């Protein structure tokens, strides 16, 4: 099956060779989103709330550019630098998934740059 890259206008420049998202059939796969602006600068350094919101807005841009909406997301993987940020991240996350939230997991791990506090990757299903 062929797949089509999804690169929303104004998206952050990739830190490695990848597309922000890919549509394959009825699925959209979103790469790990980080708190990076369109100029490649880190956003919300030291602020989990600001970084979570930026990450989810970036994710939303990919999902919408692929023809879906946030409610089409079936699965999220969340990586936190520090589990002490879990409650604050969840508060912002709940704003984006108020009803029928997707399946997900959340782990603690180092991220690609020390100033990043959260990374989220997603899979959306657009139906048949």
Q: Do residues 82 and 117 make contact, with C-beta atoms less than 8 angstroms apart?
A: yes
CA–CA separation, 32 vs 4, rounded Å?
A: 17
Query: Residue 25 maps to which CATH number?
Result: 3.30.1330.40
Its pTM stands at: 0.94
Tens of pLDDT along 45-103? 999 999 999 999 999 999 999 999 999 999 999 999 999 999 999 999 999 999 999 99
CA–CA separation, 33 vs 62, rounded Å?
A: 10
Average pLDDT over residues 3-25: 85
Range of the domain at 53: 4-125
Q: Do residues 124 and 73 make contact, with C-beta atoms less than 8 angstroms apart?
A: yes
CA–CA separation, 62 vs 87, rounded Å?
A: 25
Cβ neighbours for 17, distance < 8 A, ≥ 6 positions apart: none
The tally of domains found in the chain comes to: 1
**Neighbouring-strand partners of residue 125:** 27
Tens of pLDDT along 72-85? 999 999 999 999 99
């Amino acid at each position: 099956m062929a797949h089509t890259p999804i690169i929303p206008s104004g998206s952050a420049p990739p830190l490695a060779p990848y597309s922000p998202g890919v549509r394959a059939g009825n699925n959209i796969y979103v790469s790990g989103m980080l708190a990076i602006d369109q100029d490649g600068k880190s956003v919300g350094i030291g602020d989990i709330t600001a970084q979570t919101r930026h990450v989810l807005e970036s994710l939303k841009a990919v999902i919408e550019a692929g023809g879906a909406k946030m409610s089409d997301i079936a699965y999220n993987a969340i990586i936190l630098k520090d589990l002490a940020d879990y409650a604050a991240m969840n508060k912002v996350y709940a704003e984006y998934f108020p009803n029928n939230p997707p399946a997900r997991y959340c782990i603690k791990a180092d991220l690609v740059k020390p100033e990043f506090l959260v990374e989220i990757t997603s899979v959306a299903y657009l139906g048949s």
